[in-house]
Amino acid sequence: MDNAGVVGYPVPLDVVIVGAGLTDLPKGKNMEKELDKWIRQARDKWQFRGKEKPSIAIEPNAWQESVWDYPRPPKLERDRRLITVSVNGKVIAESNSAIRALETASPPTFYIPPKDVDETMLTLASRFSLCEWKGVAQYWNVNFNTFAIEGAAWYYLDPYPEFKPIAGYFSFYPHRLTCYIDGELVRPQPGELYGGWITNETIGPFKGNPGTENW
- Cα angle vertex 39, ends 210, 65, to 5°? 55
Q: b/e string for 72-87 if b means 16 or more Cβ within 10 A?
A: bbbebeebeeebbbbb
Q: Assess if CATH 2.40.50.100 describes domain 1-215.
A: no
Domains of the chain, by residue range, sit at 1-215
Confidence of residue 1 (pLDDT cuts 50, 70, 90): very low
Weakest-pLDDT range from 87-96, 128-137, 196-205: 128-137
Average pLDDT over residues 164-188: 98
pLDDT at 30 over 90: no
Contact call for residues 116 and 94 (beta carbons, < 8 A): yes
Mean pLDDT over the full length of the chain = 89
Identify any residues that bridge with 124 across adjacent strands, giving them in sequence order.
140
Higher-scoring residue by pLDDT: 97, 23: 97
Q: How many CA atoms lie within 13 A of 96 on its CB side?
A: 1
pLDDT tens-place string over residues 70-81:
999 999 999 999
- 19: pLDDT strictly greater than 80: no
Question: 36 pLDDT exceeds 90?
Answer: no
The pLDDT tens digits of the residues spanning 198-212 come to 999 999 999 999 999
CB 186 within 8 A of CB 175: no
Residue type at 146 in one-letter notation: T
Q: For residues 36 and 8, what is the distance between their CA atoms, to the nearest angstrom?
A: 10
Q: Give the tens place of pLDDT for each residue, 38-73.
A: 889 999 999 999 998 999 999 999 999 999 999 999
Cis omega (within 30 of 0) on the bond before 10?
Answer: no
Q: Which of 6-10, 17-21, 25-29, 54-58 has the highest mean pLDDT?
A: 54-58
- Strands 170-172 and 147-155, by their bridges, are antiparallel
Look up residue 102 and give its amino acid. Answer: L
Q: What is the pTM of this model?
A: 0.90
Collect all residues with Cβ–Cβ distance below 8 Å to 9 and sequence separation of at least 6.
16, 135, 136, 158
Confidence of residue 17 (pLDDT cuts 50, 70, 90): low
* DSSP letter assigned to residue 116: G
In terms of Cβ atoms closer than 10 Å to its own Cβ (0-12, 13-18, 19+), residue 107 is: buried
Residue 94 φ/ψ, nearest 5 degrees = -150, 125
Q: State residue 27's pLDDT score.
A: 63
Residue 7 has pLDDT above 50, yes or no: no
Number of other CB atoms surrounding residue 210 within 10 Å: 7
Model confidence at 96: pLDDT above 90: yes
Beta strands in 27-70 (DSSP E): 65-66
Point out the least confidently predicted range of 40-44, 102-106, 112-116: 40-44
